[in-house]
Amino acid sequence: RALVEIDCGDGRGGVDPNGDLFVQIGTALGDRLEGVLTHAGHSYACRDVECIRQVAEQERSTAVSAAERLRSAGLTCETVSVGSTPTMRHAESLAGVTEMRPGVYMFGDLFQAEIQSCTREDIAVTVLASVIGRRIDENRILLDSGALALSKDRSTGVTSRDAGYGLVLDIDGRAAFGECVIDRVSQEHGIAISDVSLPFDELGVGVKVRVAPNHSCLTAAAYDRYYVVDGGREVVDTFDRVNGW
Amino acid sequence: RALVEIDCGDGRGGVDPNGDLFVQIGTALGDRLEGVLTHAGHSYACRDVECIRQVAEQERSTAVSAAERLRSAGLTCETVSVGSTPTMRHAESLAGVTEMRPGVYMFGDLFQAEIQSCTREDIAVTVLASVIGRRIDENRILLDSGALALSKDRSTGVTSRDAGYGLVLDIDGRAAFGECVIDRVSQEHGIAISDVSLPFDELGVGVKVRVAPNHSCLTAAAYDRYYVVDGGREVVDTFDRVNGW
């Protein structure tokens, strides 16, 4: 069973739902045709909720119209699948849609907070890091979380609140150090700076902090498991990841 | 046994080799003092060989002077460790140095080629990718290599030959498609464009290509093994990686 991918405006993959090829593929699939699939990745270019709502409606209407086109050609189209986290969050109607495939919504991240898919307080995945150096006169700390631990995703670089390579929180996940961001990374190191004077008495070498990521999908993919906490510091469970291809 | 890290100008980690703290740490280590270590990461900001040579000499002289300072204080300093791939490649003298720790030099990458640590033809690690979509009228292909497969490292973005998220080569590692670069990535997808008309008759869906990375260290870290070829297409060995912390 197969879905035919259509392009609803993102310009990444999928065929033109108004072109001849689309119906030809559906016809060629015959009994294997399950439905249509699209992904409104262009919702990530939005900077306000109204824009996301418009993209969500474009995604929905394109997918539903494409499904109708297959049905009008005498083909079955059981699945009408759409998906992106911003459109999932802000769609006003999902009429005709049978499946949604948002990904990052389950964790959120700094970029999703900037485009109002969640708040910073909602972010449910962080990287546990240790202070490994301090430059008190320069108001910065060195962490053992660099490009490997965080990824080089710089999603927030295009938003009004650029969080560098990640936002440094205290061990309990609180924004206790001001707008404290990872300003520079190398493979294993991250240099964090802040818009307030850092409390160096609380940030000795070896102290653990948490770093909220720009993009949870890419950061989480660097690890083979999640250590689950439930409001405290105790690890209450371990979830394995499925990585690789 | 421990090395004392000193800062030779990179401003990332390490103590000031001319400050009091440096000798205090060496003294406190006592019998555990093995030597000094530094890393001239600022060599990556160079854009020509003369600049790299100057940074290499700064790295060497800072480390050797720091070692002498420990010895003058009656301490032993057996190891004088320096390292960065550009300075390894272009250092004119390593007098007094006992160890060099270059990393990416063993593979090279597009960024190292731009700063003359290697040539593009020297790059010894590539990502095997498949064509999964084509937009012939837009002269672009879609590959199954995106941010996960390549990393979001954009090192070449500051050089004169910006290779996007990677340079697309043919299955034999040849630059057969012009300056064909991954212009845009999402988690699993990469869109490749070129400065020449792409040979779509050779680039059908399913065709395999190779992508040279911006930064081998970060790209290679996404995988748990290397498939080794030796001038041909046959895999002659598999090397496991050590990942994680």
Output the pLDDT for position B243.
Answer: 80
Do B147 and A133 count as a contact with CB atoms less than 8 A apart?
no
The pLDDT of A16-33, averaged and rounded, is 97
| DSSP 8-state class, residue A73 | T
Question: Is the per-residue pLDDT at A47 higher than 90?
Answer: no
Residue A194, pLDDT > 70, answer yes
- The 3-state secondary structure of chain B reads CEEEEECCCCCCCCECCCCHHHHHHHHHHHHHEEEEECCCHHHHHCCCHHHHHHHHHHHHHHHHHHHHHHHHCCCCCCEEEECCHHHHHHCCCCCCCCEECCCHHHCCCHHHHHCCCCCHHHCCCCEEEEEEEEEHHHCEEEECCCHHHHCCCCHHHHCCCCCECCEEECCCCCCCCCCCEEEEECCCCEEEECCCCCCCCCCCCCCEEEEECCCHHHHHCCCCEEEEECCCCCEEEEEECCCCC
Q: Provide the shortest C-alpha distance from residue A99 to chain B (in Å).
A: 20
Chain B interface, best mutation among A10, A37, A151, A183, by max B CB count within 10 A: A151
Residue A15 is predicted with a pLDDT of: 95
Note whether B111 and B125 are within 8 A (CB).
no
Mean pLDDT computed over A167-183: 97
Task: Check pLDDT > 80 for residue A244.
Answer: no
Report the percentage of chain B scoring pLDDT > 70: 100
Q: How far apart are CA A159 and CA B118, in angstroms?
A: 36
Mutate to test the interface with B, among A43, A187, A224, A227 (most CBs of B within 10 A): A187
Q: Do B187 and A147 touch (CB under 8 A)?
A: no
pLDDT in tens, B166-181: 999 999 999 999 999 9
Ordered by where they begin, the domains of chain B are 2-102 (3.20.20.10), 120-225 (2.40.37.20)
Q: Which of A151, A184, A244 sits opposite B152 (nearest CB)?
A: A151
Predicted pLDDT of residue B245: 59
Please check whether residue B41 touches A, CB under 8 A.
yes
From CA B92, how far away is CA A143, in angstroms rounded? 33
- Give the model's confidence band at A158: pLDDT under 50 very low, under 70 low, under 90 confident, else very high: very high
Mean per-residue pLDDT for B78-90?
96
Instruction: Count contacts between A and B (CB, < 8 Å).
Output: 55
Give the per-residue pLDDT at B36.
98
3-state secondary structure of A139: coil
Which of B 43-102 lie inside 8 A of A, CB atoms? Answer: none
- Over range B200-210, report the average pLDDT: 98
| Beta carbons within 10 angstroms of residue A71's beta carbon | 12
DSSP-derived 3-state class of residue A160: coil
- Burial tier of A102 (Cβ tally within 10 Å: 0-12, 13-18, 19+): middle
Please report the pLDDT score of residue A147 as a whole number: 96
Contact indicator for A213, A113 with CB cutoff of 8 Å: no
Q: Distance between CA atoms of B12 and B35, rounded to whole angstroms?
A: 19
Instruction: State the Cα–Cα distance between residues B211 and B129, nearest whole angstrom.
Output: 7
Minimum CA–CA partner of B133 in chain A: A13
d(CA A100, CA A87): 10
Alpha carbon of residue A102 to chain centroid: 9
Task: For residue A169, give the nearest of A137, A146, A202 by alpha carbon.
Answer: A202
Cα–Cα nearest to A224, from B99, B222, B240: B222
Structure token pair of residue A17: 């739902």
Which residues, other chains included, contact B100 with Cβ-Cβ below 8 Å and sequence gap of 6+?
B81, B82, B83, B88, B94
Predicted pLDDT at B42: 95
Q: What is the pLDDT of residue A233?
A: 93
Per the prediction, chain B carries an average pLDDT of: 96
pLDDT at residue A180 greater than cutoff 80: yes
Q: How far apart are CA A111 and CA A122, in angstroms?
A: 12
Q: How far apart are the C-alpha atoms of A239 and A224, rounded to whole Å?
A: 9
Check residue A234 and report its DSSP letter.
Answer: S
Task: Using pLDDT thresholds of 50, 70 and 90, give the confidence band for residue A242.
Answer: confident
- Which of A103, A152, A187 lies closest to B152 in CB terms? A152
Q: How far apart are CA A230 and CA B25, in angstroms?
A: 40
Tens-place pLDDT, residues B13-64: 999 999 999 999 999 999 999 999 999 999 999 988 999 999 999 999 999 9
Predicted local confidence at residue A245, as pLDDT: 60
Reported as a pLDDT band with limits 50, 70 and 90, residue B242 is confident
pLDDT tens profile B95-108: 999 999 999 999 99
Please report the beta strands in A120-198, taking only residues with DSSP state E, as ranges in sequence order.
127-135, 140-143, 167-169, 181-185, 190-193
Tokens 């670089």 sit on residue: A157
Contacts of B153 in chain A (CB under 8 A): 147, 152
Least CB-CB distance to A142: which of B12, B147, B152?
B12
Length of chain A: 245
Calculate mean pLDDT across residues A126-151: 97
The rounded distance, in Å, linking the Cα atoms of B211 and B104 is: 17
B153 closest CB neighbour out of A103, A152, A245: A152
pLDDT at site B219: 96
Per-residue confidence at B73, pLDDT binned at 50, 70, 90? very high
Q: Which of B13, B147, B186 sits opposite A41 (nearest CB)?
A: B186
